[in-house]
Structure 1
Amino acid sequence: MSAARIRIGLHGAMGRMGLRLIQLISEDPRVELVAAIDRSRIGEDAGVAAGIRPLGVPVRALEDLGPANRPDVVIDFSHPSAVPLIADYCRREKLPLVVGTTGLEAAQQQALEQAAAAVPVLASPNMSRAVNLLMKLVSEAASAMGPAADVEIVERHHKLKKDSPSGTAIRLAELVMAASGADRLVHGREGQVGERTRGEIGMHAVRAGDCPGEHTVLFALGGDTLELTHRALNRDGFVRGAIDAAVFLAGKSPGSYAMRDVLESGC
């Protein structure tokens, strides 16, 4: 007998990521969508909204969820301002929470930390397996090259992205800092800025067109350079990673988890 599918609640269901999640959840035999949560398109069938077959799952506001559409895991791709609301809901209802929303401020991060004391929480600026492998390689390169390398990070996203730099770029910079001893970020350069100083990481954000995401970390030494790049061709890598994270998180103990835990688990 096959295992029961994991019941997914999707918060931010009518956004770009949410609609693609609905499509790919419907194709994944491990999971099923039981709750599509949003403030827009209330009452519309989530499958129809996503351009696929009717799923029998109407879009609902969070406060309208009941026992019949109670999920096993919630995936959030909403807005930073909505993260404390869904974190509090999951904490009260004892539901695991996967968060892919980026641009979180300190209070919103704190809401996730409070939730993680009661339920399993996995929050990542990027759910892509390939990006998380990039993070591992960047950390190893920064450790091997140490402070001798000049490090520049360039990220490119579509023109509708609201936060800058991207959460992934910030995380890459944090990894370089931890591994190499670099201690400050320089966001772009203009005018007479003087010579590059030791211990800085250059950070550059490009916003243009419909690019779903591209990150390059440049390590420059005297005489040669190393560039590590991830390029998203569409959003599917992020979406599939979020589904993998939900499968991983179901049944876990309370606490904070990371995508590296998903990668190591083989989900």
Structure 2
Amino acid sequence: MSSRDLFNLAEAYIDNEDMGQAKELIQQAMALGPMNEDIISRAVVLLVYMELYSSARKVYEDYRQRTGLELSDYTYARVVQWEQENRVVDDVPVFDLTAGPLRFVRLSDMQRGDSTLVRTDLPVGELEVSEQGIRIVQSGIKYQYEWKEITRASIVTRMIPKGMRSDTPNYSQKICTLEAPEEKRFQFDVSSTNPDFGGALLLRAILEKYLDVESIDERKPGFKAGEDDPIRNLKRGDRNRMLLIIGGIILFLIFLELSQSSSG
């Protein structure tokens, strides 16, 4: 098999959350061209996408030692930054909240690399987690909860379009929803790509330690969302935005048709 075939197969395993098999296929692809920038770049990109930051750093270091060159997709400093902000040791987040709380501040569009993909009227701007609970800043209002006060926690995984400029049309998005008394709902993106907060892997690990996080995978064949779908509000918003876009296009076409008729 060619490196391209191996990488494509690895991506299929990544979509199915089989990271062990995906990593093995990536290693096989790298063995076909350990000094080939295209091969090593794609390997690093996939390892970062899988949030295996220690592995990505080691592959990058090996390539630099062999060639003395940098990769074009990511700088070495950026990969190290991801590893450090997620407190990763050998690809696993390591944290101890007994030593003090950890704070996560919402990224700007420039820091994220794109606008947020969780579009809500009440964005979460900051999270602070401790042994006792979680403090949430939403639209400038501060909320404080003990962990046991969170009535429901879920992470929904779905495939969303990357955009017209991307070679691969879709990627996996993870949306975290925390529900609390008085019908409070807090939603934010914890994906490996364009998350709302830096250290998304670390944040997920903390939430999964202190909360009973429900995992909902919309990518499964035949999946049908239930009435208690935690991101139903986001889907309504997506549909409304799509209808507005379609309506705008129709009005523009009508305007063009009327303009051409009047000029003729």
TM-score, reference length from structure 2: 0.27
Larger radius of gyration: 2
Relative to total residues, which structure has the larger helix share, 1 or 2?
2
Q: Select the structure with the greater relative contact order (CA < 8 A; seq sep ≥ 6).
A: 1
TM-score, normalisation: structure 1: 0.27
